[in-house]
Amino acid sequence: MTEKEPLLSAKNLKLLREPLGQSNPITVQVLGICSALAITVQLKPAIVMTLSVIAVMSISNVVISLLRKMIPPRIRIIVQLVVIATMVILVDEILQAFAYEVSKQLSVFVGLIITNCIIMGRLEAFALANKPWPSFLDGLGNAFGYGLILIIVSFFRELLGSGTLMGYQVIPDAFYDFGYANNGLMVLPPMALVVVGVIIWVQRSKNKDLIEQN
C-alpha cells in the first residue's frame, strides 16, 4: 500500500487548473463547440448551460470511473451514452420544473449535452483509466473551462449586441442620446464564431506553444 495522497495534492490541482487555460476544451481541444456557440446571445442562458454541464460532467465522470473495471471495453460507448443520457434527463426535468423560461430558451441544447463531445471525450480519455476523485476534479475543471469561454462570449455578445447584462441595461441612456447604437450583428449566430475566433487569437498570441504549424 502506498501512502495515501492528500485530496488536493499538486497533481490533482493541476487537473482542475489546466483546462481553464492551457488545455481549454473549447479553444485548444476543440470539443463541445456546438452547444457553446448557440446559446451565447445572452449571459443568463449561458450560465444555466454552464451549470448543467458542470453537473452532468462531474457526476457522469464519477459514475464511469466507479464502473470502470466492470464495463466490458466493447460496449463502453453505449454504457457511457446511457449514463450521460440519464444525467441529462435529470437536469432537463429539473430545469423544466424550476427554470421554465430558461429551459425554453435553451430548447434542444439541453438534450444536446448528450452528444457534447467534451463529456464523451473526457470519459474516454480520463474517467475510464482513473480513480473517482481525480475524475471528479477533471470533470469539474473541464466543465469550468467550457463555461469560462461560454461566459466570455456571451458577456461580449450581450453587452455589445443589446447593451444589457443578465437582462439589465448597463449602457446609460446618455450614450444612446449621443448616437451610440447597439451592434445588431452581435446578436446574430455567426458572430459567436467570430468572437470565439478572436478569443483563440488572443490566447495563442499570449501562449506561443499553442500556435499551429500550417
Partner 1 sequence: MENLINIFVKSIFIDNMIFAYFLGMCSYLAVSKTVKTSTGLGIAVIFVLGFTVPINYLIENFILKAGALSWLSPSMADVDLGFLSFIMFIAVIASMVQLVEMIIEKFSPTLYSSLGIFLPLIAVNCAILGGALFMQEREYANIAEATAFGLGSGVGWFLAIVGIAAIREKIRYSNIPAPLRGLGITFIITGLMGIAFMSFMGIKL
Query: Is residue 124 exposed (0-12), middle (13-18) or buried (19+ Cβ within 10 Å)?
Result: middle
Q: What is the dihedral of CA 24, 30, 36, 37, to 10 degrees?
A: 130
Binding mask 92-121 for partner 1 (x = CB under 8 A): xx-------------xx--xx-xxxx--x-
What values do phi and psi take at 116, rounded to 5?
-65, 120
In sequence order, what E strands does 43-122 have?
Answer: none
- Least Å from the CB of residue 81 to partner 1: 6
The verdict on 24 binding partner 1 (CB under 8 A) reads no
What separation, in Å, do the N-terminal and C-terminal C-alpha atoms of the chain show?
48
- Candidates 8, 13, 77, 94; binder of partner 1 (CB under 8 A) is 77
CA angle 164, 191, 180 (to 5 degrees): 45
* Interface positions, 125-184, toward partner 1 (CB under 8 A): none
The verdict on 196 binding partner 1 (CB under 8 A) reads yes
The verdict on 204 binding partner 1 (CB under 8 A) reads yes
* Interface positions, 35-74, toward partner 1 (CB under 8 A): 35-38
> What SS3 class is residue 121?
helix
Positions in the binding site for partner 1 (CB under 8 A) = 27, 30-38, 77-78, 81-82, 85-86, 88-89, 92-93, 107-108, 111-112, 114-117, 120, 185, 188-194, 196-198, 200-205, 210-214
